[in-house]
Amino acid sequence: MLFALFILSSLYVSIVNSWGPTGHSLVAKIAQSMLTSNSKKFVQDHLPWYTNGDLSMLASWPDTILYPDTNPVDYLNWQWSLKLHFVNTPDWICNYDRNRDCDWTNEQRCVDGSIQNYTERLANTKQDSIQRQEALKFLVHFIGDIHQPLHAGFSSDKGGNLIKGRFFDNTTNLHSIWDTLMIERRISLDFQSDSNKYYNYLLDIMHTTYMKNISQWSKCPSSDESKYLACSTAWINEDVALNCAFVYRDEQDKPFSVSQQFQLGQIYYNTRIGIVEERLLQSGVRLAAVINKIVELRKHNDKSCPGTVLIAIVLFLEVLLVLICFICYLIRRTFRRQSFGETSDNYHVVKS
C-alpha cells in the first residue's frame, strides 16, 4: 500500500506542476500592488494573521498540500484538488470548449471550474471565514496557473509533461521550461538571481510598455459571461492560441512530439520569454481586478444593511415603548392599592 502511495505521489510530482513558487509569488505581488485600500483590508482579514495580508506568502499553498514531501501528514486528503490546477484540450484543435474539456454540465473539475467556484465562494458572505480563506488561497494560485499556457495544454502529452528533451544544459520536459526554467534563467542572467529586482522590473514594464493594456486585461470579453471579471474561458482560449502558435513549436517552428526528444536553447528562450512575462503581468492584473470587484460588490451589498438596521431599531423602540407603558400601568396599580389599604386601616381604627 505504502509503495503504491509512493508511486502515486511520484506520478503527481512529475505530471502536475504550475508556475514554480517564484512565478506564483510574482503574480501575487503584482496583484497586491494593484489592490484598492478596501481590498488590502479584505485580504488582510481573509488570510492567516502570520501573512500580514501578503498574498504572495500562500500563493503556492495549493501545490504544497498535494505532495508528501511538503505535506507529509495529509497530502492524500487533498488529492481531490489536483484536477483543479489545469485543463486539457484535444491536440491541435486550438480551441477550448467547457462542455468537452471540463465536463461543464457535471463536475467542472478543471481550472476553469475552480476559478468560477472560488470566486463565487469568496464573494458569498454566507460562507464561513474558513471557507472564504480557502477560496482566496485557491484563487490566488489558480489565476496564476491558468495563465501558464501549458495548464491548458494538449491531452495526449499531459500539458507538455510527456514531451522531453534538453533546454540548455537541463534534461527536462516542456512543461517545466514554462513553469520555472525560463523564469529562473531570466532572473539568474539579468537580475543577479534576485527575484525582487525582477519583480521591480515587471512592475516597471507594466506601468510603461503595458500601461495601455491594463484596462483591457481587467475586463471580460463579451463572449465570456463569467462572474466577478474572472474570465476563465477567455484566458484558457488565450493559452490555447499561444500553444498552437509558439509553445508547442520548436526553434524551427516544427510541432513537438512525445516520441522525439527536443533540443532547445537561445532561440526558443529569446522568442518566448516575452510571452512568459506578459502572462505573469496579465495574471497579476486580473487577480487584482477579481479581488477588487468582489470587495466592491460586498461593499455595495453592505450598503443595503442600513435599511435593515433601521427597521430593527424601530422595532426595538416599539417594544421598549410597550414595556415602559406596561411598567407605568403596574406602578399606578400598586399606588392605587396602597391608597385603598391606608383608607381601609383608618376606617378600621375609627370603627374600633
Minimum Å gap between C-beta 23 and Zn ion is: 10
Q: Which pairs count as long-range contacts for 170-174, CB under 8 Å and 24+ apart, including other chains? A: 174/150, 174/247, 174/248, 174/256, 174/262
Q: How far is the CB of 143 from Zn ion (least distance, A)?
A: 11
Return the number of the residue (19 or 262) whose C-beta is nearest Zn ion: 19
Nearest to 281 by CA among 47, 29, 9: 29
Q: Specify the residue, 17 or 264, whose C-beta has the smaller distance to Zn ion.
A: 17
State how far the Cα of 143 lies from the Cα of 127, in Å rounded to an integer: 21
Compare residues 53 and 62 and give the one whose CB is closer to Zn ion: 62
> Can you spell out the DSSP letters for 56-78?
GGGTTHHHHTTSTTT-TTTGGGG
Burial class (CB in 10 A: 0-12, 13-18, 19+), 261: exposed
Beta strands in the chain (DSSP E): 164-167, 170-173, 262-264
Cell numbers standing for residue 294? 468582489
Least Å from the CB of residue 18 to Zn ion: 3
Please identify, using beta-carbon distances, which residue of 84 and 231 lies nearer to Zn ion.
84
Closer CB to Zn ion, residue 53 or residue 144? Answer: 144
Cβ proximity to Zn ion: between 61 and 201 the closer is 61
CB of 223 to Zn ion, least distance (A): 26
Q: Where are the alpha helices (DSSP H) in 47-167?
A: 61-64, 98-102, 111-123, 129-145
- List contacts with Zn ion (CB under 5 A): 18, 63, 85, 145
For 312, the grid coordinates are 430593527
Provide the minimum distance between the beta carbon of 66 and Zn ion in the complex, in angstroms, as a whole number. Answer: 8
CB nearer to Zn ion: pick between 63 and 101:
63
Residue 312 beta carbon to Zn ion: minimum distance, rounded to whole angstroms: 45
Using alpha carbons, select from 62, 91, 92, 90 the residue that is nearest to residue 78: 62
How many other CB atoms are there within 10 angstroms of residue 28's CB atom?
25
Measured distance CA(18)–CA(113) in Å, rounded:
17
Nearest approach, Cβ of residue 13 and Zn ion (Å): 12
Minimum Å gap between C-beta 116 and Zn ion is 17
Q: Which residue is nearest to Zn ion (CB)?
A: 18
Contact criterion met (CB below 8 Å) for 161 and 173: yes
Return the number of the residue (18 or 243) whose C-beta is nearest Zn ion. 18
The DSSP bridge partners found for residue 255 are: 249
Rounded-to-10 torsion of CA 205, 211, 212, 217: 90
